Structure 1
Amino acid sequence: MPDSPNITIVRRLYDSGMAPEVTAEVMAPDLVWDITPGFPNSGVYHGWDNVAKDFFGVIMPSYESFGPVPGEFFADDDNHVFVYGHYHAETKSGNKADVRFIHLWTVRDGKLVRMQQAADSHILREALNG
């Protein structure tokens, strides 16, 4: 069975590795990026430029590599896409961690307008501090 149009949009973002040309196409200007409390640099960010600079720009220097590995995609009839997967992280000090997450995306008019994240923050903090 083919993916729903909303899953196709979200899957494209993950498959691209969040490539700039793809984020420019799929992210809404009023994007809300909500990172669960306890996760490094948690908070609510508004707009992709804010996410890129103030979230990723702050956390990425701590890692050799960090990225989401999506596993399963589910969609509902209310323009939500749920992604269950894990982050694969390797810190600058060589610690590795696989951290489970769920991302809840909201899609409006073919654009991603909200991402709410829940993740096992403890495992990631242990890797950073270990």
Structure 2
Amino acid sequence: MRTPHQIVADHYAASDRQDLEAMFADIADDVQWTEMAGFPCAGTHVGPAQVIEKVFKVLGAEWEGYRFVLERLVDGGDTVVGIGDYHGRNRATGKTMHARVTHVWQVQGGKVRRFEQFTDTLLVARAMQ
């Protein structure tokens, strides 16, 4: 069985390839995916369908070249922390954004059960204004 660290690393690798199916291969059917208040996709989204619709499709529609660049992955057993940077250009304003970000993943039984994002939402908001 793959470790939580490997599951999250595989998710990020799939994201780099823009492989949505592989990104969600290890996401629980009842995952609680929380985007920080003040972020364009703020709130807790439950289940892969909501996450895809309310997070990934929104980011794809509002941002050109939106990406997360992983700097390091911290192995805390069932809790894995991804630290890195967001980058993108807002389609409506043409402004670029670069913001530091931390993702906290909770993995149990080989599935991602919880995800929580922490980022500087002011930098994102400025690019949207």
State TM-score, norm by structure 2.
0.89
Distance, in Å, in 2 between the alignment partners of 1:28 and 1:113 is 6
- Structure 1 unpaired stretches of 5+: none
RMSD: 1.6
- Could you tell me the percent identity over the aligned residues? 26
Cα drift, residue 24 of structure 1: 3.7
Q: How many residues align?
A: 125
Q: 5+ residue gaps in structure 2?
A: none
Aligned ranges 1:106-117 → 2 under 5 Å = 106-117=106-117
Name segments (4+ residues, structure 1) moved above 4 Å.
Answer: none
- The answer (yes or no) to whether the contact 2:28–2:111 under 8 Å persists in 1 is yes
Q: Residue 5 of structure 2 aligns with which residue?
A: 7
Alignment check: 8 A CA contact 2:11 2:24 kept:
no
* C-alpha distance in structure 2 between counterparts of 1:126 and 1:6, whole Å: 35
| Range 26-35 or range 48-57, more displaced | 48-57
TM-score using structure 1 length = 0.88
Deviations 1:43-93 (A, max 9, x none): 00000100111222233311112111111111213x000111111111114
SS of corresponding position for 1:25 = coil
- Residues 1:108 and 1:34: Cα distance change in structure 2 (over 3 Å): same
